């Protein structure tokens, strides 16, 4: 997936006078943020090598390459940090990154469209895909199981679904393109 970037953290403030920043990690393992190579900044078209110095309440203190003063650090406050998708490690079969699943089109076996995956949730009973239905603000929750989602085709940008009866309102099924 060349070119795609994933938001892995944010700079929440400056710390001290030597250019250290407060960093919030959005990674499953918060410390992993420093292992994804140079992180891209959403505002300026530049990237930073991140070195975590120590944990603080709500995140980490970090040093960014090329940021040596408090003024530079303050300018970066509120910046989102993105990693290249190619830097994320390969996963086992039947494991997918949330960022890959979000945006995929959900289609039935017969080709009819339901909508697009909006979020991936987990309340303790396995992962759930939240699919936003076409031409509607309503969403449908689908358990992420092999029975309900038999095919995940990230390259083609779609998942094939076979939802159990009673989960999706019958009226929302749209014809194939």
Residue 106 contacts residue 115 (beta carbons within 8 Å): yes
Q: What is the closest distance, in whole angstroms, from the C-beta atom of residue 68 to other proteins in the complex?
A: 28
The count of other CB atoms within 10 Å of the CB of residue 142 is 23
User: What is residue 85's three-state secondary structure?
Assistant: helix
Can you tell me which of 90, 110, 165, 175 binds other proteins, judged by CB under 8 A? 165
Q: How far apart are CB 86 and other proteins at their closest, in Å? A: 13
Query: DSSP string covering 29-78, please?
Result: SGGGGGGSSSEEESSSS-EE-EEEEEEETTEEEEEETT--SHHHHHHTTT
Residue closer to other proteins, measured from CB, 16 or 150: 150
Q: Which is nearer to other proteins, 88 or 107 (CB)?
A: 88
Please report, as residue ranges, which positions from 84 to 123 form the binding site for other proteins (by CB under 8 A): 88, 91, 94-99, 101-102, 119-123
CB atoms within 10 A of CB 70: 16
Query: Please, which residue, 170 or 175, has the CB nearer to other proteins?
Result: 170
The site for other proteins (CB under 8 A) is made up of: 6-9, 25-28, 32, 36, 83, 88, 91, 94-99, 101-102, 119-128, 141-147, 149, 152, 162, 164-167
């Amino acid at each position: 997936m060349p070119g795609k970037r994933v938001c892995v953290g944010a700079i929440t403030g400056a710390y001290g006078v030597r250019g250290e920043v407060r960093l919030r990690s959005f990674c499953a393992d918060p410390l992993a943020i420093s292992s994804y190579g140079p992180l891209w900044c959403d505002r300026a078209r530049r990237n930073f090598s991140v070195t975590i110095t120590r944990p603080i309440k709500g995140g980490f203190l970090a040093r960014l390459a090329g940021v040596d003063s408090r003024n530079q650090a303050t300018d970066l406050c509120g910046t989102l940090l993105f990693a290249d998708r190619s830097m994320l490690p390969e996963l086992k079969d039947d494991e997918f990154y949330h960022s890959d699943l979000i945006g995929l089109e959900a289609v039935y076996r017969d080709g009819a469209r339901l909508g697009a995956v909006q979020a991936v949730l987990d309340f303790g009973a396995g992962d759930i895909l939240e699919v936003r239905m076409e031409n509607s603000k309503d969403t449908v929750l689908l358990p992420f199981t092999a029975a309900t989602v038999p095919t995940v085709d990230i390259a083609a940008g779609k998942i094939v679904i076979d939802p159990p009866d009673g989960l999706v309102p019958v009226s929302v099924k749209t014809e194939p393109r």
